[in-house]
Structure formats: structure tokens, C-alpha cells
Amino acid sequence: MAEAHWTIDLHMNRYSSLLATRSFLFGMTALLCIMAGPAPAQETETAPATDPNQRYASCMTLARSDPAAAEGVALAWVAENGGAAAQHCHAISLIGLGRYQEAAELLERLARELPPDQSQTVADLFGQAAQAWMLAGGYDRAIADLDQSIQLAPYDFEFVIDRAVAKASGGLYWEAIDDLNNASEMAPGRTDILILRASAYRFLEATDLAMEDIVRVLEVEPQNAEAIFERGMLRVIAGSIDEARADWQQVVQLVPGSATAEAAQANLEATAPVPE
């Protein structure tokens, strides 16, 4: 079954898929206050003051819906000395435009320019830069940025999970498992950690350990589409093609239109019986 396993993995890299489905941090509460700064104290008749918090929130909303327009708005704001808030909106618009390396470098620069007493915000910016690097395929840079995030916010397990994703995406599966073990201790109720760890075990051909994690997830979340997808991957490795296909069909029904459903459909097509 090795050939079929490889074909299916071409359709679905679990780590890149989960990166795509993990929510990107389009805005941070701390940034609204720290980066945008206080509103002007008074207004004039000729030039009404604009609340920078509102301006930041509006720019970030536009970055999600129309990143090309948001880039223009953000650059105009940068030219008006909009500071870190304007630059952050620019970086997020670059994400939406698919210019991931530019966004990552800008986010790193912002993180380094903020005062050291804003440690959580700096950690968040490095975390965002890491996500952008992963989208760009720069896994080493992503890991380095997440090292910074974890150093600044050692109890934020989300950074540990993201670093595991970056390590696994770069083929460092055992190191990813170490991070996921730590994250699971910090957040024992998080089933996504177990699914990621199962994926890493699968790539290491430790399928028994992988299935143990998937069974644990499905015991508490029997309709978890990610876990059912992964179970299908493990079943096809074991030679149970019909059971694997049943899993992927269930995924398509559970989360239609999602990246996971698209991957499940691709796997169904790859394993479809050949007409005689």
C-alpha cells in the first residue's frame, strides 16, 4: 500500500491544511490600544479628529474583505505617520494579497520596534510573522519567530502548537511531537493537539500511536471531521480502503466546502475503483 499512501499524501499534507484552517490573527485587542494610541483630545471645525482605534479597526476589517484596497488605505496612513497601527494593517493586507514574505518581514520589524514592556504584543507579532512565513514555506524562519514568541509568553500554548506545525511542515516530526506533548500538558482538553500529533506519528509510520490519539478524540467528539479524515488516512495505510473511503465521505458531508472536505474528495477520487 505504500504507493497509494504516497499518492494520497500528495493531496493532503495535514500540517499545511491545519495551518490554512487555523484562524489568522487579523487583529489583537492589545494592538488596538497600544499601537493606535489614544484619540485626539479635541476636534477643530476644519479638521475633525479621527479616532485612531476606529481607524485601525476599519482598516483591519478592509484587509479581510478587500486586501488590495486596504493596502492603499494603510500606505496612505503610514505616510501620515500612522505608526505601528498603520504598518500592522499593511502587513495584514499583504497576507490577503498572498505576499507572505513581505508581510512576515514587516511583522518581524514591527515586533522588534515595539518597546520591551509590551511583551505579549511583541510575542503576538512574532507569532503572526511565523504564520506568514509558514504560508511562504519559510519554516526555519517561522520556527525562529515562534522561539521568540514562546520566550516572551511561555504559558501561551498556541505558540507551542504553531511551532509544532512549523517543525512538522519542515519534516521535523519528532521535534513537533515534543512540542505537541508539551502543549497537551498545558491544554489537556484540546483535541486539535491530538490530531496534529496523530499526523506526525503517521508520517513517522507509528500508526498504532497515531490511531490511539484519533480514538481519544473521537471518544469525546465523534463527529470531528479532522479526526475522521485522519482515521481514513490510517485506515488506507492498513489496507482498509473501503473503510477509509467511508470516513472521507463522512467528512465531505460534515464540513462541505472546507479545505478538509476538498482533501477528502481528492482522496476519494484517488482511491476510486478502476472500471473493468
Task: Provide the whole-model pTM.
Answer: 0.82
**Residue 5, pLDDT above cutoff 90:** no
Q: pLDDT by residue (tens digit) across 164-216? A: 999 999 999 999 999 999 999 999 999 999 999 999 999 999 999 999 999 99
Identity (one letter) of the amino acid at 67?
P
| DSSP states of 212-231 | HHHHHHHHH-TT-HHHHHHH
Contact (CB, 8 A) for 181 and 157: no
Which of these ranges, 25-29, 52-56, 240-244, has the smallest mean pLDDT?
Answer: 25-29
The C-alpha atoms of residue 189 and residue 191 are separated, in whole angstroms, by: 6
Digit-coded pLDDT (tens) for 34-64: 454 444 444 433 333 368 888 898 999 999 9
Report the pLDDT value the prediction gives residue 275, as an integer from 0 to 100. 76
Q: Flag the least confident range among 8-17, 34-43, 251-260.
A: 8-17
pLDDT, position 50: 65
Residues found in the chain: 276
Q: What is the spatial distance between Cα 95 and Cα 105, in angstroms, rounded to a whole number?
A: 11
Contact 168, 196 (CB under 8 A): yes
pLDDT digits (tens, 9 = 90+) for 90-107: 999 999 999 999 999 999
CA-angle at 274, arms to 273 and 275, nearest 5°: 110
Neighbours of 170 (CB within 10 A): 18
Closest by CA to 267, choosing from 84, 256, 158, 249, is 249
Q: pLDDT at position 117, please?
A: 84
What's CA 169's distance to the chain center, in Å? 12
